[in-house]
A and B are shown apart, each in its own frame.
Chain A
């Protein structure tokens, strides 16, 4: 027992040490335009992260690793963002603070309220309302309409819809017996998911299409009893992928730059080649923070943060991030296996798959392993909506990791 307590402390202290050293380094780096507020923000963040890790161990009987892993990912990300652009870095610190608060709110809220599996219509309808709002009020950035701007703040509804979609699929499969009885019952879910995907196609948000599709396929593959549906879905996936290649010039460019970016190095292949240069430049140990040139890559603070990290902190840190995601996804699967209530189990599985797929798509993309699709790395990239929705997902995962014993004690 004693041994266990000590070893819980070790990763937590390592995290604080890492953050303090990084803070020191960044302040030396940026000493010319440093004000008091920045220092306060930095120290507050470290404090919040430490305290939340500490509190969580007390209040939650569930998994105590996922939050720890996530805070490490966040620290690496925010260091890099601050180095690229101090202003964005400070904003990111604020987002993280809000994210952690939202994590705890979600944790209590989701734990307190019961009967989530009954509200399938609510999830479906609110998703569709959000989609329609995006189409009507959305502003077009980089070829896709996925932002709603209200006043000074913009947010991406598709980040919230991801979680709603997981809830929708989970409540469908948790009540599978009921829907199976109905006529065309098995096709309901497919219909709704295809409506979602159609909306995303209309927004030209191809990264989100890929995420939704793979999430749906994965959960359907696990829980669908009618195996033919899985096959249909795969066929539609392949056909629509091929069609997309010919219809959207957007997709075609992505494929061409994936196969040979060097031919288009001066225009459409510029981003990916710069990313490859940056990773190669870094080598095993990197150039050191502040000594590389990650600014050469367009969109380096969101989609391409991984390349910047590889350049300045070395490919070892890059592998470290991938390993952290591996452990996170592994923990998610373990939580799903241990959870006894079906709805929570599917939700846990969905969230782990979401984290896994999202990181796979973007890591593969920036390393030129798969065609590039611009999405954010959960917890690492700059971005308010991405950060908040990832923290909501994490809060739900934390609840799912606990032994929830309502509805179990029924004496027969």
Chain B
């Protein structure tokens, strides 16, 4: 009597264990899908490329660029980064006839485009690196 029970139960146990694993994997899959990954639409964006492990302030991985975007420490910027080395209004990225231009707004510590400090306005090309304060962004342009 017990033997029959045990024989049936062993199959049921295996089925339950695998169902359990599958349901957890499904939940984790839904969880991962919910994470904000690379933007899928055609707009241009800035991607964070940082060498430091931790930063004492919050930076997002991606920033979408609209027609005009201000970056700085102040609250009225489209891209707000609370890095002490970034000025209140640090720089402006503006779209003109399909191209994006980077403009430094007399920031205290400057803006570096591919390692060179920019003086006033520079045109952005796909793959440019923009360094401000302690963070570095990669510009990804889409036509």
Contacts and interface: CB of A to CB of B under 8 A. Distances in A.
A8 interface: yes
Given A28-B5, A285-B14, A320 B21 contact: yes
Interface string A316-350: 11001001100100110000000011100100000
Interface in A395-412: 407-408, 410-412
B54 A314 contact: no
Question: In terms of DSSP, what is the predominant structure of the interface of chain B?
Answer: helix
Interface in A112-160: none
A21 B24 contact: no
B17 A18 contact: yes
A18 B16 CA distance: 7
Interface in A284-325: 285-291, 312-314, 316-317, 320, 323-324
A76 B14 contact: no
Interface stretch (B25-33, B39-47, B111-119): B25-33
A223 B1 CA distance: 59
> Considering residues B7, B20, B54, which has the most beta carbons from chain A within 10 angstroms of its beta carbon?
B20
Nearest to B54: A342
A11 interface: yes
Interface stretch (A65-73, A183-191, A363-371): A65-73
B14 A11 contact: no
B20 A29 contact: no
B25 A290 contact: no
B84 to A, nearest CB: 3
Contact of B17 (A287, A317, A340, A411): A317
B27 to A, nearest CB: 6
Given A408-B56, A408-B58, A331 B28 contact: yes
A33 interface: no
A410 B58 CA distance: 11
Nearest to A290: B6
A253 interface: no
A110 to B, nearest CB: 20
B83 A288 contact: no
A25 B6 contact: yes
Given A288-B7, A327-B21, A341 B54 contact: yes
B49 interface: no
A286 B84 CA distance: 63
Contacts of A4: 30
B14 A316 contact: yes
> Considering residues B5, B6, B84, which has the most beta carbons from chain A within 10 angstroms of its beta carbon?
B6
Interface residues of B, number: 33
A235 B63 CA distance: 45
Interface residues of A, number: 46
A316 B18 contact: yes
A411 B82 contact: yes
B13 A21 contact: yes
Interface string B55-87: 011100000000000000100000000111000
A110 B129 CA distance: 41
A411 B2 CA distance: 69
Contacts of A313: 10, 13-14
B96 interface: no
Given A21-B9, A288-B6, A313-B10, A412 B73 contact: yes
Nearest to A63: B31
Contacts of B84: 412
A300 B36 CA distance: 47
A94 B16 CA distance: 25
Contacts of B12: 21
B67 to A, nearest CB: 29
A324 B21 contact: yes
13 contacts: A14-B16, A14-B19, A65-B28, A68-B24, A288-B3, A291-B6, A291-B7, A313-B10, A324-B21, A327-B24, A327-B25, A410-B82, A412-B57
Given A17-B16, A290-B6, A320-B14, 10 more contacts: A8-B27, A18-B13, A25-B9, A65-B27, A69-B24, A72-B20, A287-B10, A327-B21, A412-B57, A412-B83
